[in-house]
Amino acid sequence: MAMDEEKTNRSKSAEREEKILKFWQDNKIFEKSVKKSAPQGEFTFYDGPPFASGTPHYGHLLAGTIKDAVPRFWTMRGFRVSRRWGWDCHGLPVENLVEKELGLKSKKEIENYGVEKFNATARESVLRYADIWREQIPRFGRFVDMTDDYRTMDANYTESVWWAFKKLHDKGLIYEGFKSMHLCPHCGTTLSNFEVAQGYRDINDISVYVKFKLLISNSQRDEKTFLLAWTTTPWTLPGNVALAIGKNIDYVKVQVGEEKLILAKARLAVLKRAYKILEEFKGEKLVGFSYQPLFDYYQGLTLGSEKGQTLKNKENGWKIYAADFVTTENGTGLVHIAPAFGEDDLCLGEKEKLPFVQHVGLDGKFKKEVSDFVGMDVKPKDDPTRADVAVLKFLAAKNLLFAKEKITHSYPHCWRCESPLLNYAASSWFVKVTVLKDKLIAENKKIHWVPKTIGKFRFGNWLAEARDWAISRSRFWGAPLPVWRCEKCGKLEIIGSVENIKKHLKPRNRYFVMRHGEAENNIAKILSTKPENPHHLTEKGKGQVRAAAEILKKEKIDLIYVSPFVRTQESAEIVREALGLKKEQVIIDKRLSEISAHDFNGKPVSEFQLAFSSLAERFSKQAGGENYREIKNRVGKFLYEIDTDNSGKNILVVSHEAPIWLLTCAAAGLSEKLAITTYPSDFNKNDFLQNAEIKSFDFVPLPRDKNFELNLHRPFIDSIEFDCACGGTMRRVPEVFDCWFESGSMPFAEWHYPFENLEIFNPKPGLFQKPKRFPADFIAEGLDQTRGWFYSMLVLGVALFGKAPYKNVIVNGLVLAEDGRKMSKSLKNYPELLPMLEKYGADAIRFYLLSSPAVRAEDARFSEKGVDEVAKKIIGRLDNVLAFYLLYADKNQTNNLQPRLAVRQATTNNILDEWILARLNQLIGEVTTAMENYELDKATRPIADFADDLSTWYLRRSRERIKRIINNELRIKEEAKSALETLRFVLLELAKVMAPFTPFFAEYLYQTLNDANIRMDINDENVKSVHLEEWSKVESKVESQKSKVLEEMVEVRRIVSLALEARAKANIKVRQPLRKLKIKSPKLKTKTEILKLILEEVNVKEIEFDDKIGSEVELDMNITTELKKEGDYRELVRQIQELRKEKGFQPGQLATLATSAQIAATGLLQEFEIDLKRTASVEKINHGVLSAEDFELR
């Protein structure tokens, strides 16, 4: 559902928020908040880049709101907080998505389809929803720069990743190793240990007890004696090459039926049938014995007859070895060893020089040597036990299966495609995390984690068990590993920059470009876009070209390539003659022509300029011919072609201003975004090249895509080869980076460090300078990132720069459906996000999420009822408070109400005013402390409490006082005005406190209170916004002075609550006055003004303190005639006030009241007539004139 589609059920809040969003965008409020004075300096925030492979959901909204609230707070505290959006573009998540779209089912099918086409589709897919994100993220109130965004797939980003890899390699922290890892057979690549940790789930599986026939000698077997081993991975059994025992473990030989079995004595229970112990011995007695392989696929002399390759270390295979990892906790005390499929197995294999048999390919299928099962998936996603069942049936037929069991266990699955993983020995590139472990643990202790338990236990324990990080992937869509290997001598070359590639490639030719001299169309200031246009050089232009030719004489030009236009050919001819070149050394090439813009041919250049809003638009928008992208492609093809055709030449290109500029961009491999930065800023007034101006440029054919942009992806980078000193050819290894290595590089790679932007990012402190943007003051992501982004960033930060790359972390939990399950579109167990936005507005959803346990790493069940409560009890209540203020401020032309500039300046004798100002100061203190500690739920909770206090206590108790502003008596009017001023000040300060959490409503409050008629169409350089304000300070003096008021008001409300509870139990309405309230506690005995609040709230005539009463309060429930009369009168007043509302009477507007004979007969209105006129704004009363209704107002 796009946000610009027709919207239904849109709330008042949602409509208001969209107006405010437009106000922010039109007036660049976010940009101003970043540029404004920052006396406290920089506050650095890293924004973990999301994948844009789908539209935003509640999880994104939760994390995004956390990332928005904290920077807003620190901005208001006087810091500059830059917020730059980024996109995570690479890796298995994208590849899996593209595979499904293209109908590809395996890595092999991708290769057959073509890596270039596959990666082109991946590139297109990663930003498919970017426009939706750019629309929706700001709509949820996020302040972030989404225009100057970075992308992990950009060449500049990849170059920084290369730099990091080389830096780590230079430090000895990178190595290529062969290890047992987890392989995803569908993706055809191994995964890192923290990727594996994200995908464990319980599955039903099969375990088997298998019999291995013991050999008495190398050739003679004991037909009746078997070694009993247990495994949960029957598919690995064809790869068995040894059995392992514990040399100090007690083993037994037992008789079971006609067979003899050897197993650990402690594991006899697994037999589950009658047995007789024949012999007992230590495991060391078994060491060295041989056994017959279960399968004979690899026992022959050669590994595949067509290869004629001897199986290495075959003589050490199928024997019993001692190993420390063997236990008697499960199994049989004998462990099946397949070095290709287990870490312990591989270590034992290397130690004992066992043969290495890998009977399963990277695709997860049995290899052709395994003739009985060839091509079968060993752990298929749809039926993980299929291959296991086939193996055990085969063994059963040979009487080698002793028993089988169904088991349920936690098994690793691919974190992206959900295929079961295989423990698989493979080659990979690793970061030596183990040598950094102590430093990582020490740096982690310096980080402030919210909640602390995540850093101490979940993350801390993960670091304590850290293993070397496998960072290479045998895939396609990712930053390529910058490792070149000589195919002849094996020497490695690590490339750390694009410049390194250029040095290896070396330019074939030297290039110069020259714009034509001044021509007649330049003088006329018209566009001349057709070759046949007779626009010749002017005399001045000819002179310009001759002067340029003199400069070129020293360059020894060999060839001139020229545009077919008259003015360029005339320029080239002058140069040719001056340099003494032959005519055949001048080559006309139409690809060097001026822009084809026939709609503007012969028209003023200014008209062409006005047709485009920006230089960027010229790359996509045509002007009756071609756009700049098409020009760049044609001149790019020209350049690559002539560079191939020539060698060792000095080449001059004579063309037009735009084609020459785009030619230099194509030569440098610049993206359109980067190309624009090389052009003069005022592109309509300044040219890249003046008439007859000469420039030179370097060119080597770097890897590029069809738009002649530097593209370091496969397959383009794979075409780069260079010579080795040994005479061999160096080619790049085929692997790409783990995408976590890329995202972990974000702090420096987003700024293309260390190649540029050192004034923005530089982790190294200078003589008088602090590090820039390192480490981050704050980051935030979900709980899963403890083994993802948090981890990869910490490893790279410590390895490269020696310290943790972040200081404060908020870890959020999952947003679940209300039923506690994962939100599911198919189950429809949660309300859609955008309809919720339309119904309640962003602020209500934001506040609800920020006050949930999800902001402290706990899972939260999303409830629409909870959002509704926020909308009504916080935003709705405050909306009503504001409306009440505006009603009385506006009606009495009190626009000259002075806002209280600071709490300490608030002077009032009214106890309610004193209390609400003290509560405000308390609120500011609580929210400030919570935000400084990054505890967002603790920051939002006091706001909800304060909104309740302001609405249901302060305003309710102050209503009558404020209404009296219409009174002509100066004292009463001043009291009311003071209350209004207090209310206005409190609301303004509250707007600032709420700004980080409910930015739209805070802005609405602020703007409304500063401008009686809120105008969200303001477009003024000096426009004000709550988000440009400073955070309110806690007034310590006020805090100490007014703490007593706060304590006393708590006591007042406690007593009132108890008294009203007593009324309710006695079924006596509050409107009915009572004579006396007795209070047991003497705390408030001397507080006359506070006691007045209790008198009014409980509606009693007097208060008596009596410490002898049995309960905390005691009401005199005896209602006298006078009290009854007063209660009845109050009921009539209520009815009259309701009638005023129905009839639309405004506060203070006088009315004439008519009553019925029945009402008049009570005599109540006559007795209380003076009070009635004042209370209900009644000018005249006509008693007993109505026959039907009780009352009528005119």
pLDDT for 301 equals 44
Q: Please list, in sequence order, all residues whose beta carbon lies within 8 angstroms of the beta carbon of residue 637, skipping any fewer than 6 positions away.
A: 591, 708
pTM: 0.88
Return the HEC string of 177-227: EEEEEEEECCCCEEECHHHHHCCEEEEEEEEEEEEEEEECCCCCEEEEEEE
For residue 1037, the model assigns a pLDDT of 63
pLDDT of residue 692: 96
DSSP 1059-1117: HHHHHHHHT--TTS-EEEEEES--TTTT-HHHHHHHHHHHTEEEEEE-TTSSSSEEE--
In terms of C-beta density within 10 A (0-12 exposed, 13-18 middle, 19 or more buried), how is residue 542 classed?
middle
Residue 9: CB atoms within 10 A of its CB come to: 8
Q: Is 731 helix (H, G, I), strand (E, B) or coil?
A: strand
Q: For residue 143, give the 3-state DSSP assignment.
A: coil
| Structure-block tokens of residue 118 | 């596959």
785 part of the active site: yes
Q: Which residues fall in the annotated binding site?
A: 825
Q: How far apart are CA 1080 and CA 1061, in angstroms?
A: 16
8 Å CB contact between 202 and 408? yes
E strand or H helix that includes residue 1129: helix 1121-1143
Query: What is the CB neighbour count within 10 angstroms for residue 266?
Result: 15
Nearest alpha-carbon partner for 223 in 258, 175, 256, 274: 258
- Residue 894 CA: distances (Å) to CA of 135, 886, 971, 984: 40, 10, 16, 11
Q: According to the model, what pLDDT value does residue 5 have?
A: 42
Q: What pLDDT is stored for residue 906 in this prediction?
A: 47
Catalytic annotation on 136?
A: no
Q: Show binding-site residues for ATP.
A: 825
Residue 85 known to be catalytic: no
Q: How far apart are CA 881 and CA 481, in angstroms?
A: 61
pLDDT, position 2: 41
Which residue in 406, 583, 825, 865 is the catalytic one?
A: 825
Tell me which residue of 402, 367, 411, 416 sits closest to 387, measured CA to CA: 367
CA distance 1074 to 1119: 6
Q: What letter represents residue 499's amino acid?
A: E
In the chain, which residues have pLDDT < 70?
A: 1-9, 217-222, 300-309, 683-685, 890-908, 966-969, 1012-1021, 1037-1041
Tens of pLDDT, residues 181-235: 898 888 888 888 778 887 888 889 999 999 999 997 655 566 789 999 999 999 9
Distances (CA, A) of 875 to 106, 870, 871, 999: 53, 7, 5, 12
Residue in the block written with tokens 């006298």: 1120
Both tokens of residue 33?
């908040």
Catalytic residue among 105, 285, 556, 822: 822
- The residue among 656, 782, 1136 whose CA lies nearest residue 57 is 782
257-285 pLDDT tens trace: 999 999 999 999 999 999 999 999 999 99
Which tokens hold the place of 189? 């690549």
Contact 841, 8 (CB under 8 A): no
For residue 238, say if its preceding peptide bond is cis, omega within 30 degrees of 0: no
Instruction: Give the active site residue among 163, 429, 751, 789.
Output: 789
Q: Which of 47, 68, 88, 149 is labelled catalytic?
A: 88
447, 809 Cβ separation under 8 angstroms? yes
DSSP letter for each residue of 911-951? HHHHHHHHHHHHHHHHHHHHHHTT-HHHHHHHHHHHHHHII
Q: What is the 3-state secondary structure (H, E, C) of 902-920?
A: CHHHCCCCCHHHHHHHHHH
Count each helix (H run) and each strand (E run) in the chain, helices first. 40, 40
Active site residue 117: no
pLDDT for the residue 895? 46
Let me know: does 344 contact 231? Beta carbons within 8 Å. no
Compute φ and ψ for 819, nearest 5 degrees. -85, 5
Residues in CB range of 1168: below 8 A, 6 or more apart:
1129
Is 822 designated active site? Answer: yes
pLDDT of residue 1020: 64
DSSP E strand boundaries for 648-705: 650-655, 694-697
Is the Cβ–Cβ distance between 252 and 263 less than 8 Å?
yes
* Residue whose tokens read 């290769």: 111
